[in-house]
Amino acid sequence: MRSGSWQQNWREEPSAQQCPAASEHANESVFDMEWRNDLPDGAAVRPDESQGRFVWLVRKGAMTEQCFEEMRAYLIHVVGSGRWSQNWGTRPQPCH
């Protein structure tokens, strides 16, 4: 499934032998979530995306710390395992 600049890759997770070492992933996307004291127009969340980087900005008080940490852990997992990959017109990354 493809939508915008992200691609879902729901397959078995690759073994450690199939994936290059983490230092070899220089061209891959980085995902994270960050707290912000305030966001424009009173928004609760806002994406901040560029090639190789995607960060969900979350207004403090818009969600609980537990919700933030659980969502962040899961989203880092699906991006880090290669189940979601950023696609800016080049071939998707095979492992991460």
Q: What is the pLDDT of residues 16-74, one digit of tens each?
A: 444 444 434 445 667 899 999 999 999 999 999 888 888 999 999 999 999 999 999 99
Say what the pLDDT of residue 10 is: 63
pTM of the model: 0.65
Q: Report d(CA 72, CA 22) in Å as an integer.
A: 20
pLDDT tens by residue, 72-93:
999 888 888 877 777 766 554 4
Strand order in the sheet with 2-3: 2-3, 6-8, 84-86
Contacts of 87 (CB under 8 A, 6+ apart): 2, 5, 6, 7
pLDDT at 78: 83
